[in-house]
C-alpha cells in the first residue's frame, strides 16, 4: 500500500483530502498491526484480532475494535472498548443479582441443637452396646487366645519378621494409646485430603463448621477430625496421646469414645451460638474442642497430678492450675474478641468435660442398664439362640 497521494486526487478538494487521510490512517494501522502480530513475544490472544493489510479502512463503529494503550511488558495491545470497560468496572451487571449475604438467625440453630442432642444420645447408647458386646466376646475368645499362645510357642520364630515387630510394638502400648491410634489415623487421613486440589470444595463444605453454611449438622462431626495446618494437628494429637492412658483407664474405651465424639459436637454447637450472637460468622475446624473435654475431665478428676510443657520440662504445675489457666485464657479471648482460636469451642468442650466427670457419669452412664437389657433380649431372641432363650 503506497501512502503517497496523487496530485490529481489532491486537486479534487475536501473530499480528496478526506480520502487521503483515510488512506494514511489505514496504512498506519496496517503496519502497526503487522508489527504486533509478527512480534516473537505475542500471545494467543493477539490471533483473535485480524485486519486488512492495505487499502482503505472504514471508520470504526461504536462496538468495533479500537486501539487502547495498555502496558503489558512494554507492548501495545488491541482490546475492545467493551472489554476495557468490564476490566475497569468491578460491580456486576445490573441484570445479575448480587449473592445473598448470610444473616444472623438463631432459628437456624434449631436443627443443629436437635442433632447435638440426638448424636450425643446415640453415642452413649452405642458405647453401652459396644461394652456389652466386648465383654461377651472377651469371655468367648479366652480359650482361643490360650490356643493361639500355645501354637505361637510351637511355631519356629522368625528373626527380623516385620509383622512380629509391629505386634510387639502394639502390645506394648497401653489400652488408651491403642484406642486413640484410630483417631490419630483418621485425622492424618483428613489432613492428606486437604492437599488434594479437587477435594477443596468438599472439604470446605463438610469438614469446616460454619453457622452461615448451608450444611450445618454433618460438619459438626467431620470438622472434629479436620486439620489444615500440620502444626495444629501435631499439637492436638500430642495432647490426646499424652492424656489417653489416664482418660481411658478412668472411663474405659467405650465410654471415652462416647465422651470424645459428643464433646466434638457439643463444642461445635457452642461455637455456632457464639458466632451467631457476635455476628462473626466464619469457618472453624480442628479437634481442640473434643481434646479440651478430655483434658478438663482428667484435670478435674486428678487435680494434683503434675504436668509439664513439652518444650519446658523443667517447669511443672498441677493439673488443676493448668485447667484454671486455660479456662481463664479462653474466657478472656471470647469476650475480648480474639480471633486466633475458636475460644467458644474450647470453653464448650472444657465445660462439658468438667460436667461429665462431676455429674454426667452418674446421670448417663450408670443409667444405661435398661438399654443393655433391651439389647440383650434382642440378642437372645435372634436366629442363633436356643429354644429356651439362652444364647
- Residues catalogued as catalytic: 288, 346
- Report the distance separating Cα 358 and Cα 372, nearest Å: 23
Residue pair 298/247 in contact (Cβ under 8 Å)? The answer is yes
Cα-flanking dihedrals φ and ψ of residue 41, to 5°? -100, 10
What's the sign of the alpha-carbon dihedral 9, 10, 16, 17?
positive
- Report the distance separating Cα 109 and Cα 276, nearest Å: 9
The set of residues, in sequence order, having a beta carbon less than 8 Å from that of 214 and lying 6+ positions away, is 205
> How many CB atoms are located within 10 Å of the residue 322 CB?
19
> How many CB atoms are located within 10 Å of the residue 175 CB?
13
Amino acid at each position: 500500500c503506497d501512502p503517497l497521494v496523487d496530485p490529481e486526487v489532491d486537486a479534487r478538494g475536501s473530499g480528496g483530502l478526506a480520502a487521503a487521510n483515510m488512506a494514511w490512517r489505514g496504512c498506519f494501522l496496517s503496519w502497526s498491526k503487522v508489527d504486533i502480530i509478527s512480534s516473537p513475544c505475542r500471545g494467543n490472544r493477539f490471533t483473535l484480532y485480524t485486519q486488512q493489510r492495505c487499502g482503505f479502512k472504514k471508520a470504526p463503529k461504536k462496538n468495533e475494535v479500537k486501539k487502547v494503550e495498555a502496558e503489558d511488558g512494554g507492548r501495545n495491545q488491541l482490546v475492545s472498548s467493551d472489554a476495557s470497560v468490564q476490566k475497569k468496572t468491578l460491580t456486576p451487571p445490573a441484570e445479575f443479582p448480587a449473592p445473598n449475604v448470610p444473616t444472623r438467625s438463631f432459628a437456624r440453630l434449631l436443627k443443629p441443637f436437635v442433632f447435638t442432642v440426638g448424636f450425643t444420645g446415640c453415642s452413649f447408647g452405642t458405647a453401652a452396646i459396644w461394652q456389652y458386646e466386648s465383654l461377651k466376646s472377651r469371655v468367648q475368645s479366652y480359650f482361643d487366645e490360650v490356643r493361639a499362645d500355645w501354637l505361637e510357642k510351637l511355631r519356629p520364630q522368625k528373626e527380623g519378621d516385620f509383622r512380629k515387630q509391629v505386634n510387639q510394638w502394639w502390645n506394648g502400648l497401653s489400652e488408651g494409646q491403642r484406642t486413640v491410634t484410630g483417631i490419630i489415623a483418621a485425622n492424618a487421613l483428613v489432613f492428606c485430603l486437604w492437599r488434594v486440589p479437587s477435594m477443596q470444595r468438599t472439604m470446605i463444605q463438610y469438614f469446616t463448621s460454619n453457622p452461615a453454611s448451608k450444611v450445618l449438622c454433618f460438619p459438626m462431626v467431620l470438622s472434629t477430625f479436620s486439620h489444615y495446618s500440620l502444626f495444629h494437628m501435631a499439637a492436638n494429637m500430642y495432647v490426646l496421646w499424652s492424656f489417653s492412658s489416664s482418660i481411658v483407664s478412668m472411663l474405659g474405651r467405650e465410654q471415652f469414645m462416647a465422651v470424645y465424639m459428643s464433646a466434638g459436637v457439643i463444642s461445635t454447637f457452642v461455637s455456632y451460638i457464639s458466632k451467631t450472637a457476635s455476628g462473626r460468622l466464619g469457618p472453624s475446624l480442628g479437634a481442640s474442642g473434643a481434646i479440651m473435654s478430655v483434658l478438663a475431665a482428667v484435670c478435674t478428676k486428678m487435680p494434683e497430678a503434675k504436668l509439664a510443657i513439652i518444650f519446658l520440662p523443667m517447669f511443672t504445675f498441677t493439673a488443676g492450675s493448668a485447667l484454671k489457666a486455660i479456662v481463664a485464657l479462653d474466657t478472656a479471648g471470647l469476650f475480648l474478641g480474639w480471633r486466633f482460636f475458636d475460644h467458644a469451642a474450647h470453653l464448650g468442650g472444657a465445660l462439658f468435660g468438667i460436667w461429665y466427670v462431676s455429674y454426667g457419669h452418674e446421670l448417663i452412664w450408670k443409667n444405661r442398664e435398661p438399654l443393655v437389657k433391651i439389647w440383650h433380649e434382642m440378642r437372645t431372641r435372634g436366629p442363633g439362640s436356643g429354644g429356651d432363650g439362652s444364647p
